[in-house]
């Protein structure tokens, strides 16, 4: 049953990304272009998502377990370490180069565009490389 809820959550997430305009790299780059011609839309996407998710998640968290899965799986990491900062900084640079982050990139596979395919292919290679770097330390 967790497979069904994964699929449905993915579809709704994908529709949300589409309606919000975040599948359009030009709009994402417009948000990052603060000092020139700024498009603040992405901020409203985050605010909308947080206003819905945050209270619902705090209410639901009091239950003993999720509806289909056995347990809640939430990161318990608290420390601000080098990996967090270097990783986030690296991600931001890639985000600014392409105007794509993981969610919109994967949703955009449906647009059958070679540039998107290459981005996603190299993103997955990046996951392997990141794993390699983490395991080496």
Partner 1 sequence: MNIINFTPISAFVGGSLIGFAAFLFFAFNGRMAGISSIASGSIVNNENRFDNILFLFGLIIGPIIYSFSGNEIVSILTNSIPLLIIGGLLVGVGTKIGSGCTSGHGVCGISRFSLRSIIATITFIITGVITVLIFGI
Residue numbers 79-108 binding partner 1 by CB under 8 A: 79-80, 83-103, 105-108
Closest listed residue to residue 8, CA positions, set 50, 75, 59, 67: 67
How far lies 18's CA from each of 1, 59, 97, in Å? 26, 28, 21
**At its nearest, how many Å lie between partner 1 and the CB of residue 36?**
7
Residue for token digits 């601000």? 80
**At its nearest, how many Å lie between partner 1 and the CB of residue 46?**
6
Task: Determine if 119 is a binding residue for partner 1 (CB under 8 A).
Answer: yes
Task: Determine if 51 is a binding residue for partner 1 (CB under 8 A).
Answer: yes
Task: Determine if 64 is a binding residue for partner 1 (CB under 8 A).
Answer: no
- Left, alpha or beta for 73 (phi > 0: left; psi -120 to 50: alpha)? beta
Interface residues for partner 1 in 1-30 (CB under 8 A)? 1-3, 5-27, 29-30
């Amino acid at each position: 049953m967790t497979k069904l809820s994964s699929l449905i959550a993915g579809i709704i997430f994908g529709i949300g990304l589409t309606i919000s305009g975040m599948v359009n790299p030009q709009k994402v780059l417009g948000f990052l272009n603060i000092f020139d011609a700024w498009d603040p839309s992405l901020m409203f996407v985050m605010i909308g998502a947080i206003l819905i998710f945050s209270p619902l998640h705090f209410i639901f968290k009091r239950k003993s377990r999720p509806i289909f899965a056995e347990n809640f799986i939430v990161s318990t990491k608290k420390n601000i370490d080098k990996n967090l900062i270097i990783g986030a900084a690296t991600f931001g640079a890639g985000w600014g180069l392409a105007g794509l982050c993981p969610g919109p990139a994967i949703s955009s596979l449906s647009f059958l565009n070679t540039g998107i395919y290459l981005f996603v292919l190299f993103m997955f290679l990046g996951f392997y490389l990141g794993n390699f770097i983490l395991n080496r330390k």
